[in-house]
Structure 1
């Protein structure tokens, strides 16, 4: 976008809260992103957005256009979905190797649940990576599954801190190589010692799952207590063919709700 054509007065923002209120915040500034020139950064005046808000933005045509003089069209109540969130695993103090750059197979050991949770293979590959140079490569055998934990070189659980009373977004990036027959299979992200065994599939694999491209999957979770938890990844393949996929960039975002 051409920075000279940006005028904050051509934009308006509304915030719909979970409680049903509609707020009309004042826009402090609208600027072209310094790194990605096709993105506009909108700053609000003394207003905080929360993860349970629905934020909408509208544009009334003015002079806004690209550097090659292509004018921008009007839009009304476009819902903003990309809130700024901080991945707790990206913190330099985090012990979780969420992009698997330094992980070895021994760091993600089988947890000895018995059949069918031992019918899998796991390795680390340079063939596909969502970020960095490595990802985890998984194959679930026909009617098989997997259960693995996360430990350090001494066999101790690799942990991450959690807080009771908050919601978190837990997710990963997935690249499916071979889905097998279109029968729903799944991966679930559990944790120990105080997991929620009812946590949703993350993801489920079905006939509409993308193949040959990275996609993001996540669920909202809550933790039963303040403390330190450690991953348990449990996969299930109910197909008669092998399920093959890569996984990369584990995420954990602490979500904030409007008081």
Structure 2
């Protein structure tokens, strides 16, 4: 029986296209036969990814092969040996177009169409080597397939809606330029109206998008669908959208203009509150209006009545307003400063008797009665980036077990990209900051338990004894039917927080809170996120994102 010869499968990252001569590679096994190859792209799976109109170089450095050939498929071309990765125009170096066979030792393959491509390398040996199959004539054949996933170009597609009316649709092939601005459509809005921007891009499998807006109430957004309010009178261009793709896919980014002109005119609608009232960390109470404020005299403070009640403390009084002002960064917002302190355990209401607060288009603010203020709560979990999952994996330990972040260990994640990866830091989604924690199951649903185990809490920051409101922000995908999630400190059985999400609105960030709880000091143990399948064992993909868990500190009066 012939003795099996060992081979080496060599994966090397070559930083330029192959341009060296064959004699620079010595046979690694002397007189023995071996099957060995080199690629310009490193991979742990055996498959390759590449962007459209990019190349991969392959070099067959097998020894003592009787015959050798490459086969490249339709939608690919081979590039000549004069080609270098420093060249920017690859078409000048095309030698042959697939499907075709090549007998070169080294090939540089250009990918001209998207999709899955298979490159075949066939070597015949007179001796047995690894991966070889014996043929009828007594020779040994290695038929190696290199699978390449060719990603199409990113081609932004989007719509702009005014209410339910689609006023602009931009397709993959539309390429608006600023030189064509005179031909762009113009939409007329009343001050305080909104437009809805919807990203519908699929080509190139983007991972994220960034909207940039002009003239609206926000400058940027990463959401797939976003409402933009237009409060300032004037003429504006809408902005642009950037579609992006990140590793392990081929990195890419494309910017496309939003070919729309916006004309904001005076409103015929009443000038009223636009949302609720809230307190900030400095005890300033603020609220937004349906348009920018043009006139706000200091004497208007006397037209506001602020009542503060606290049943526990036996307190119920009106507190004088010290000043009212237009917010320096948002001209639709009024800021109220009080003459005495308030506490987040208080119930605060604000009423207004119409005076002479006017919008920029001369509408007068209407009266309103006893609007409740959402009070400001500072969080006890004030560890920078920790429960916001802001810290990207730093390179040490297993990235998959660490859920692509630092400070956590995903106990039930697999340790490779094949997964399942129940937990994963996602910088394409966040309520606040640059990322959130994605929870995503396979098609079989939630396992018995999936745990994201937090770091030892003594190394982070202790929670002092006190009364708290547990809270977390959650974004639930529309097809998800989960009913509960749980956070816990394993050192304190009372510090277990079960959030019912069965009725939580989907497709948007929602703040969840639990009733007040009194805790002792916590300065040891772990902080864990536990998701079990009890009562939520549906065999479907379940997917949501979590951000900014906190224990909100209650201030007694």
Aligned-residue Cα RMSD (Å) equals 2.7
Distance 1:41 1:95, change over 3 A: closer
Is 1:139–1:242's contact at 8 Å kept on the other side of the alignment?
yes
Higher Cα radius of gyration: 2
- Say whether 1:212 aligns with 2:507: yes
Counterpart position of 2:491: 193
Is 1:51–1:255's contact at 8 Å kept on the other side of the alignment?
yes
Q: Taking CA–CA contacts closer than 8 Å with sequence separation of 6 or more, which of the two structures ends up with the larger relative contact order?
A: 1
- Say whether 1:73 aligns with 2:366: yes
Is 1:95–1:159's contact at 8 Å kept on the other side of the alignment?
no
CA distance in 1, matches of 2:458, 2:345: 33
TM-score for both structures, normalised by structure 2: 0.39
Counterpart position of 1:97: 386
1:200 positional shift: 4.4
Is 1:100–1:136's contact at 8 Å kept on the other side of the alignment?
yes
CA distance in 2, matches of 1:229, 1:75: 50
Query: Residue 131 of structure 1: which of 432, 439, 452 is its match?
Result: 432
Matches within 5 A, 1:87-166: 87-90=379-382, 94=383, 97-104=386-393, 105-106=401-402, 107-110=407-410, 121-140=422-441, 142=445, 144=447, 145-151=449-455, 158-164=459-465, 166=466
CA distance in 1, matches of 2:524, 2:555: 20
Query: Residue 310 of structure 2: which of 8, 17, 31 is its match?
Result: 17
Deviations 1:163-202 (A, max 9, x none): 22x2123322211124544xx62112211312416x4423
Unaligned runs of 5+ in 1: 113-118
Counterpart position of 1:227: 523
How many matched pairs? 238
Is 2:385–2:391's contact at 8 Å kept on the other side of the alignment?
no
Deviations 1:47-106 (A, max 9, x none): 22122211011100100122222211111111111x23333445xxx3652321214452
Counterpart position of 1:243: 542
Distance 1:248 1:226, change over 3 A: closer
Distance 1:72 1:228, change over 3 A: farther
Is 2:486–2:529's contact at 8 Å kept on the other side of the alignment?
yes
Is 1:96–1:159's contact at 8 Å kept on the other side of the alignment?
no
Unaligned runs of 5+ in 2: 1-292, 394-400, 413-419
CA distance in 1, matches of 2:469, 2:428: 28
Distance 1:229 1:163, change over 3 A: farther
TM-score for both structures, normalised by structure 1: 0.79
1:30 positional shift: 1.5
Query: Residue 329 of structure 2: which of 35, 40, 44 is its match?
Result: 35
Counterpart position of 2:346: 53
Is 2:308–2:347's contact at 8 Å kept on the other side of the alignment?
yes
Distance 1:36 1:168, change over 3 A: farther
CA distance in 1, matches of 2:367, 2:457: 56
Q: Which runs of 4+ in 1 moved over 6 A?
A: none
